[in-house]
Chain A
Amino acid sequence: MQGRGTAVCLPADIDTDVIIAGRYLRTKDYGIWATHVFEDLDASLAPRLKGAIIVAGKNFGCGSSREQAALALREAGVVAVIAPSFARIFFRNAINIGLPLIESDLACEEGSTIVFDLSGGWVDPGGKRHIIRPLSPRMQEILMAGGLVQYWRAHR
């Protein structure tokens, strides 16, 4: 799986409450999550996420199990998230809904173009390929299928 996007830099320890606040959870309208993503961090972020690759500090997605956090990013147009580490439930959630996560300690340059190839195991922030830690075989299968729903549709 390959992808390309524009870097949006975020700090470490971004929690799921900040990704999508609890007050927006009780709906099945995915558009609401895309509109209000990161509202409590920086309300100007949401419109800039289409085609973005988020490059964040460690422990991205810590906190609650709310899958709406991963969905909000996907619905807002985020291509992938790169961070040195992710909270484990967020990690599973993102892969399960088809949002690629890349574990890498990449320095972030706002607005730069980032290219990645998960099958090839690298990410290129401009000029140099960095080796990334591969996903487990099962997670790769789920991601390649487009998410866990699609995975089970294909495997049952």
Chain B
Amino acid sequence: MSTLSERILGAAAGEYVDRKVNRAYAHDGTGVLALEAWKNMGGDRLGKDTDYHIQFDHIAPANNSTTATLQHDLRGFAKRASMQFSDIGCGICHQLMGEGVVLPGEIVVGADSHSVTLGAFGAFATGVGATDMASIWLTGETWFRVPESIGIHLTGRFTGAAEAKDLALAYVGKLGTDGATYQALEFVGEGAHYLSMDERLVLSNLSVEAGSKAGLFYADDVTIRFLKEHGHDVASQEAASCTYRQEVDFDLSDVVPLVAIPHRVDTIKPVDAVAGVPIDQVFVGTCTNGRYSDLARFARIVKGKKVAIRTIVVPASATILEKAIRTGVLADIIGAGCTIGTPGCGPCLGYHMGVLGEGEVCLSTANRNFKNRMGVGGEIYLGSVATAAASALKGEITSPEVG
């Protein structure tokens, strides 16, 4: 039997295929170079039958006039080409594509490495660079090497303060940053079935940190219900027994709060092992952990208390921000002394809205802690939302299971 990647791409692992891309998207970072490549290719009209999107999320709003000018050109192009365009403040590209746009079984390509996030919907979603995206604009197609797959078998349910992010860090730690290079991950088993869409998105999101080409869940009743709420009737994808190159088992009830320590995503320690490390900033947000359920969980922990250090919370989309306002979650977060950023990528990439100074340490819910990423000389620990909340209250890395 075939893996989900093989079924969607319609060929066996190892084969090279040309495929129609159902949805293609780029952001203000990669879109600028893609536009340059498009012009150099002599691009005039978009390839047919592909749904094209451009979202401004990386430096949104623009931080200086150079960025503003580059964005002005790209904005004009997106509108002239009649692409679906989401301006600054709408949210992170992957989140917007996951708010009822991407459907199971589709082939989705984003000009960003974290496009793998959308595998949570049972789509084959992967990232490319700028010139590949320009080529997709030109033809609506691209080539793929059908990946072999690694099966991540999940059983049980989370206990205590453990959450999807901790499991994501656990599997990246186990596979290593290149453990899944040229391959796809498939999250299967009864443990996967019990995960919410938000939790699945976290697990798919981190798959690229193990080098993976895609990180897929089979669409089931959770997916169907989510998409129904967004106006789509879709069918489930039956998981068939298939050949995985490697199989890894995780019992969710064994997962404990974890952090990735500087400067590698696969260097994982229990939060307890680094508890007490002083931090200067907490950042909650990104395509990993900036969803409504994340904000609500954070708010539950900090409500009625005061954070001890500067804490930046950036909702992943305007829809999430609006809901957080409506439900009072945002008031709880602000009441605890946190500050809110414009929906988008925030300081994850070190451009703006929370850049670290020399020697500063940040506990972040993002997905990368590479050297200097959030600022020259800054250090990044990656952890869960609950760990971020507990640490913000104390001003040092703190297990959410303490106190």
A, B assembled together: yes
Contacts from A to B (Cβ < 8 Å)? 13, 15, 17-18, 21-23, 25-28, 40, 58-59, 62-68, 70, 85-90, 92-93, 96-97, 136-138, 147-149, 152-153, 156
Q: Contact between A67 and B131 (Cβ–Cβ < 8 Å)? A: yes
Query: Given A13-B178, A25-B29, A62-B178 in contact, is the A67-B70 Cβ separation under 8 Å?
Result: no
**Are B178 and A85 interface neighbours, CB within 8 A?**
yes
Chain A residues closer than 8 Å to B129, beta-carbon distance: 65-67, 70, 89-90, 92-93, 96
B113 touching A63, Cβ below 8 Å: yes
Q: Which residue of chain B has the shortest Cβ distance to A94 in the bound complex? A: B129
Docked Cα-Cα span, A64 to B367, in Å, equals: 11
Contact B372 A59 (CB under 8 A): no
- CB pair A66 B30 closer than 8 Å: yes
Interface flag for B177 (CB, 8 Å): yes
Number of A-B contacts (CB under 8 A): 126
Minimum distance in angstroms from A59 CB to a CB of chain B: 4
Q: A35: shortest Cβ distance to chain B, in Å?
A: 16
- Chain B residues within an 8 Å CB radius of A138: 16, 143
As a 0/1 sequence over residues 207 to 240 of chain B, the CB contacts with chain A under 8 angstroms (1 = contact) are 0000101000000000000000000000000000
- Contact (Cβ within 8 A) B371 A62: no
Q: Does B36 contact A (CB under 8 A)?
A: yes
Instruction: Assess whether A65 is in contact with B30, with CB atoms less than 8 Å apart.
Output: yes
Q: Check if B16 sits within 8 Å of A64, measured CB to CB.
A: no
B-chain residues with CB within 8 Å of residue A88 when the two chains form the complex? 181-182, 211, 213
In this assembly, does B112 line the interface, its C-beta being within 8 Å of a C-beta of chain A?
yes
B residues within 8 A CB of A22? 349-351, 373
A121 to chain B, nearest CB (A): 18
B363 at the interface (CB under 8 A from A): no
When the two chains form their complex, are residues B42 and A152 in contact, meaning their CB atoms are under 8 A apart? yes
Contact A67 to B30, CB < 8 A, known contacts A18-B370, A40-B371: yes
B143–A28 contact, CB under 8 A?
A: no
Interchain CB contact (< 8 A) of B132 among A13, A27, A66, A92: A92
| Known contacts A15-B370, A64-B113, A67-B30; is-contact A148 B132 (Cβ 8 Å) | yes
- Measured between beta carbons, the chain B residues less than 8 angstroms from A156 are 41-42, 138
Query: Interface extent on B, as a size class?
Result: 35 or more
Q: Which residues of A contact B349 (CB under 8 A)?
A: 22
CA distance A8 to B145 in the complex (A): 30
Structural contact, B376 and A96, CB atoms closer than 8 A = no
Chain A residues whose C-beta falls within 8 Å of the C-beta of B112 in the assembled complex: 64-65
A28 to B36, CA, bound (A): 9
Instruction: Return A133 CB to nearest CB of chain B, in Å.
Output: 11
Apart from the given pairs A148-B135, A152-B42, 16 other A-B contacts in the complex at a CB distance below 8 Å: A21-B350, A26-B67, A26-B70, A59-B181, A64-B113, A64-B368, A65-B130, A88-B181, A88-B182, A89-B128, A92-B132, A93-B129, A93-B132, A148-B37, A148-B132, A156-B42
Q: Is the CB of B130 within 8 A of A59?
A: no
User: Contacts of A64 on B, CB cut-off 8 Å?
Assistant: 112-113, 368
A-facing mask of B167-192, CB < 8 A → 1, else 0? 00000000001100110000000000
Contact status B368-A63, CB under 8 Å: yes
Inter-subunit contact A96/B132 (CB<8 Å): yes
B89 within 8 A of A: no
Let me know if A58 and B178 touch, CB within 8 A: yes
Residues of the B chain whose Cβ atoms lie less than 8 Å from the Cβ of A13? 177-178, 264
Contact assessment for A21 and B181 in the assembled complex, using a CB-CB cutoff below 8 Å: no
Chain B residues, CB < 8 A from A18: 370-371
When C-beta atoms are compared, the residue in chain A nearest to B36 turns out to be: A28
**Which chain B residue shows the least CB distance to A27?**
B66
Given the complex of chains A and B, what is the CA–CA distance between A67 and B143 in angstroms? 18
Given A26-B70, A40-B376, answer yes or no on A153-B113 (Cβ-Cβ < 8 Å): no
What 5 pairs between A and B have smallest CB-CB spacing?
A59-B178, A93-B129, A67-B129, A17-B370, A96-B131
B66 touches A59 (CB 8 A): no
Q: When A23-B351, A152-B42 are in contact, do A17 and B138 touch as well, CB less than 8 Å?
A: no
Q: Find the B residue at minimum CB distance from A21.
A: B372
Docked-complex contact A93 and B131, CB < 8 angstroms? yes
* A15 vs B265: C-alpha distance when bound (angstroms): 11
